[in-house]
Amino acid sequence: MKLPQIRLFLQAFSEFLGRPKTVFDLKDRGVLLLLLTALVLALETLVWWWEHR
Protein backbone atom coordinates (compact mmCIF):
# COMPACT_ATOMS: atom_id res chain seq x y z
CA MET A 1 0.00 0.00 0.00
CA LYS A 2 1.32 3.43 -0.92
CA LEU A 3 -0.30 5.47 1.85
CA PRO A 4 2.69 7.77 2.56
CA GLN A 5 2.88 8.75 -1.12
CA ILE A 6 -0.85 9.52 -1.21
CA ARG A 7 -0.52 11.61 1.95
CA LEU A 8 2.43 13.48 0.45
CA PHE A 9 0.49 14.11 -2.76
CA LEU A 10 -2.54 15.41 -0.85
CA GLN A 11 -0.35 17.67 1.25
CA ALA A 12 1.37 19.12 -1.81
CA PHE A 13 -1.97 19.50 -3.60
CA SER A 14 -3.50 21.37 -0.66
CA GLU A 15 -0.48 23.69 -0.55
CA PHE A 16 -0.86 24.25 -4.31
CA LEU A 17 -4.50 25.23 -3.83
CA GLY A 18 -3.79 27.28 -0.73
CA ARG A 19 -1.28 29.82 -1.95
CA PRO A 20 -0.71 30.72 -5.57
CA LYS A 21 2.70 32.26 -6.20
CA THR A 22 2.56 33.14 -9.87
CA VAL A 23 0.08 33.86 -12.61
CA PHE A 24 0.69 30.34 -13.90
CA ASP A 25 -0.55 28.88 -10.60
CA LEU A 26 -3.77 30.84 -11.02
CA LYS A 27 -4.13 29.58 -14.59
CA ASP A 28 -3.54 26.00 -13.41
CA ARG A 29 -6.27 26.47 -10.81
CA GLY A 30 -8.63 27.72 -13.49
CA VAL A 31 -7.92 24.74 -15.71
CA LEU A 32 -8.39 22.38 -12.76
CA LEU A 33 -11.71 24.02 -11.90
CA LEU A 34 -12.90 23.75 -15.51
CA LEU A 35 -11.89 20.07 -15.69
CA LEU A 36 -13.67 19.25 -12.44
CA THR A 37 -16.78 21.10 -13.61
CA ALA A 38 -16.73 19.27 -16.94
CA LEU A 39 -16.33 15.94 -15.14
CA VAL A 40 -19.29 16.62 -12.86
CA LEU A 41 -21.47 17.71 -15.78
CA ALA A 42 -20.50 14.62 -17.78
CA LEU A 43 -21.34 12.33 -14.87
CA GLU A 44 -24.67 14.07 -14.29
CA THR A 45 -25.51 13.74 -18.00
CA LEU A 46 -24.59 10.06 -17.95
CA VAL A 47 -26.78 9.41 -14.91
CA TRP A 48 -29.68 11.35 -16.45
CA TRP A 49 -29.33 9.42 -19.71
CA TRP A 50 -29.15 6.10 -17.84
CA GLU A 51 -32.36 6.87 -15.94
CA HIS A 52 -34.32 8.05 -19.01
CA ARG A 53 -33.44 5.47 -21.62
Q: Which amino acid is at 52?
A: H
Domains in the chain: boundaries: 20-53
- pLDDT score of 42: 96
- Residues 1-38 pLDDT 10s: 466 788 888 888 788 777 767 777 777 878 888 999 99
- pLDDT score of 2: 61
Q: Average pLDDT, stretch 33-49?
A: 94
Sign of CA dihedral 22, 28, 34, 40: negative
Query: Which of 46, 47, 13, 5 minimizes the C-alpha distance to 32?
Result: 13
- 47 or 10, which is more confident: 47
Q: Who's near 29: CB < 8 A, 6+ residues apart?
A: 17, 20
Distance CA 39, CA 46 (A): 11
Q: What is the pTM of this model?
A: 0.56
